[in-house]
Structure 1
Amino acid sequence: MKLYKIAKGILLDHNNSGYIIDDEWDSLINRDDLAGYLQLIFADTTPINDEVKNEHLSGKILPPIGSQEVWAAGVTYLKSRDARMEESESSGGASLYDKVYDAPRPELFFKAIAQRVSGTGAEVYIRKDSEWNVPEPELTLFINSKGNIQGYTIGNDMSSRSIEGENALYLPQAKIYEKSAALGPCLLVAAEPIAAESGIKMVIKRNGETAYQDATTVSRMKRSLTELVGYLHRECDFPVGAFLMTGTCLVPPPTFTLQPGDVVEINIDGIGTLVNTIALNPKHK
């Protein structure tokens, strides 16, 4: 089952049928057994016709977030560890990433408030004061206020690698700025956990041509999803739930940096494709 946040409300897509849900986003998703609740809805609701459904889905799709915070985990894949060690070698910080990869406690950091999150089809920004900018494709969890995983979406954790590489203490500046995160296109809700074999693929297009592409699977993640959730909820309360990006698994080479106009496409099996165009923030000259 897929929940889409659209301009006119909430659309539930299940077995190729669409259902409009009359509810408020935060209260809908922040519940236990969200999958069971949605099954009751479509069992007792008349689906909309295909033309109306397609019209909704071809229009503007908002990010699947209400007033939640977005957090992120780092260095959860070997490729991410190696890339971070490479970028920070000249600053002497390479050992930090090697140590956290094998440490009992994961790296967790605050990423965004809802205001700074873009949906599919929208722009994400790169910083003007960074010479090396990359997207980071991440399986993203929605966790309700009780600490239970209720859904999955795709996350793009935009990162300024030159800033973080200069000094690890600059991570907040490298990670947190306007439109530095994207979520979408939907919230996948299922009774069972997402399969470890689920594929994650990223394609970056420049002037219509493929500038970078790679793929992997969720199974390559070193830590379990419940482990990451457990650390996030140890000393934090999330009254309306929270989103947790689970770490990047695909890393463009050091010679690659994003440019305005690039299009980033991130696909995760079972969820869909998150598409964003790279831009500069026009408000900050």
Structure 2
Amino acid sequence: MSFLEPAELTGTFIGRVWRPDVNGPAVVTIRDGHVVDITSKTAPTVREICEMDDPAAFVAEAAGSSLGSLEVIAAAQPGARDTIHFLAPCDLQSVKACGVTFASSMVERVIEEQAAGDPHKAQEIRARVGGAIGDSLRNIKAGSEQAAKVKQALIAEGLWSQYLEVGIGPDAEVFSKAQVLSSVGPGAEVGLHPISKWNNPEPEVVLAVSSKGRIVGAALGNDVNLRDVEGRSALLLSKAKDNNASCAIGPMIRLFDATFTLEDVRAAELDLRVEGTDGFVLEGHSSMKEISRDPEDLVRQTLGRHHQYPDGIVLFLGTLFAPTKDRDTDGEGFTHKLGDVVSISAPGFGTLRNTVRLSTECPEWTFGISHLMRNLAQRDLL
């Protein structure tokens, strides 16, 4: 099953696959339905291409060799070192994420905090908080004078929260989602920390950003979220977010060119589908048109004179999706079960599909920066 539709193949895509014959990754693009290896001394990594003046033009003109059909390689099981398969499309970039960038997710974060990670209490709190807040936050520009007035009103109602602070205050929430090279790609298993009993997928757009802060493309991402862990304490954010296989990005980065620009990112409509082995189906949606902070503002708050990233970043932009549909018990909402298949798709981006496991059951992350450097050196690419 391919993750790109024929109409999407007109764009300029860049990604990575595992090549067993060189025991390492290759930088690839898609041409005429084939996966083409464009790895070279000029561009041994995706990072190098993202740093170029015109990444899309380089990819379009780069010499390469076919590794096989997209259909066949996209269907290969990730993690098998003896088979060509897709990896996350980023490599040396830091993996950062923004939280609480949509009104609905702000409300759900307040509920998590009020419930202290207990899903049994969530429905009652959702009704109370929703009654007080409603849709009043939907059209507020974060950091504006209007947002400041809403903040004072919420404080007066006893409903102010640290999540609303980053949601409508001047400063965005930006955190480290995963370690360099630890993200998984399309078809891979995504992991839940075993201590979590209340969790969900988060369908998001992920920007590819150069070290100079220039946005050069975008992909899809699943910012796997442990609601009970973070709900107990915001200081557990790292434990809730950064675990083995808890970050999925893909299927590939679509580079900005004449057919795809930042305006397409701003207008992106993401669809989510979760299919359980128990027959349960959850469908959700996230519209980038409703984000409360512009993608360029989020990049500026992440990367600039205050913080440099010499290898660039990939940046999750947050989600509108709020999983409130009950799965097993009335009032407890949604939580994952092992074996859930999560599909995140958007026109022009393709489909990122992953299967849910425990982080302790997913393949261990063993190929780090030192391994990549040694591998590239052995291949005479450095």
Q: Same fold (TM over 0.5)?
A: yes
> Does residue 238 of structure 1 match 2:309?
yes
State the one-letter code of the partner of 1:204.
V
> Does residue 252 of structure 1 match 2:318?
no
Shift of 1:95: 1.3
79, 90, 107: which is aligned to 1:65? 90
> Does residue 34 of structure 1 match 2:55?
yes
> Does residue 21 of structure 1 match 2:38?
yes
State the one-letter code of the partner of 1:240.
D
Q: Partner of 2:190: helix, strand, or coil?
A: strand
CA distance in structure 1 between the partners assigned to 2:286 and 2:70 by the alignment: 32
Distance change in 2, residues 1:269/1:208 (3 Å): farther
CA distance in structure 1 between the partners assigned to 2:13 and 2:240 by the alignment: 32
- CA offsets 1:30-49 (integer angstroms, 9 cap, x no match): 323212322333xxx58859
Structure 2: state its 5+ residue gaps: 1-11, 20-25, 77-84, 117-157, 325-331, 363-382
> Does residue 89 of structure 1 match 2:114?
yes
How many percent identity over aligned positions?
Answer: 29
Q: Contact 1:88/1:94 (CA < 8 Å) preserved in 2? A: no
State the one-letter code of the partner of 2:318.
G
Q: Partner of 2:238: helix, strand, or coil?
A: helix
CA distance in structure 2 between the partners assigned to 1:20 and 1:283 by the alignment: 31
Q: Contact 1:139/1:268 (CA < 8 Å) preserved in 2? A: no
- CA offsets 1:97-122 (integer angstroms, 9 cap, x no match): 12221111111111111343111111
State the one-letter code of the partner of 2:27.
I
CA distance in structure 2 between the partners assigned to 1:173 and 1:200 by the alignment: 27
Shift of 1:80: 0.7
CA distance in structure 2 between the partners assigned to 1:250 and 1:10 by the alignment: 32
Q: Partner of 1:39: helix, strand, or coil?
A: helix
Q: Contact 2:268/2:347 (CA < 8 Å) preserved in 1? A: yes
Distance change in 2, residues 1:180/1:260 (3 Å): same
Q: Partner of 1:104: helix, strand, or coil?
A: coil
Q: What pairs with 1:5-16 in structure 2 (closer than 5 Å)?
A: 5-8=16-19, 9-13=26-30
Shift of 1:19: 4.0
Q: What pairs with 1:98-247 in structure 2 (closer than 5 Å)?
A: 98-191=164-257, 192-195=261-264, 196-207=266-277, 209-234=279-304, 235-247=306-318
14, 28, 41: which is aligned to 1:3? 14
CA distance in structure 2 between the partners assigned to 1:108 and 1:15 by the alignment: 38
Q: Contact 1:143/1:150 (CA < 8 Å) preserved in 2? A: yes
State the one-letter code of the partner of 1:12.
T
Q: Contact 2:33/2:70 (CA < 8 Å) preserved in 1? A: no
Q: Partner of 2:195: helix, strand, or coil?
A: coil
CA distance in structure 2 between the partners assigned to 1:46 and 1:97 by the alignment: 47
TM-score (norm 2): 0.68
CA distance in structure 1 between the partners assigned to 2:185 and 2:321 by the alignment: 20
Distance change in 2, residues 1:82/1:28 (3 Å): same
CA distance in structure 2 between the partners assigned to 1:169 and 1:175 by the alignment: 11
CA distance in structure 1 between the partners assigned to 2:17 and 2:64 by the alignment: 19
CA distance in structure 2 between the partners assigned to 1:88 and 1:130 by the alignment: 15
Structure 1: state its 5+ residue gaps: none
> Does residue 281 of structure 1 match 2:359?
yes
Shift of 1:14: 5.3
Q: Contact 2:286/2:319 (CA < 8 Å) preserved in 1? A: no
Q: Contact 1:207/1:262 (CA < 8 Å) preserved in 2? A: yes
- Name the larger-Rg structure: 2
Q: Contact 1:139/1:247 (CA < 8 Å) preserved in 2? A: yes
State the one-letter code of the partner of 2:212.
K
Q: Contact 1:153/1:271 (CA < 8 Å) preserved in 2? A: yes
State the one-letter code of the partner of 1:172.
S
Distance change in 2, residues 1:57/1:129 (3 Å): closer
CA distance in structure 2 between the partners assigned to 1:99 and 1:233 by the alignment: 21
Q: Partner of 2:161: helix, strand, or coil?
A: helix
CA distance in structure 1 between the partners assigned to 2:225 and 2:64 by the alignment: 43
State the one-letter code of the partner of 1:167.
S
- CA offsets 1:111-148 (integer angstroms, 9 cap, x no match): 11134311111111111112211111110001011110
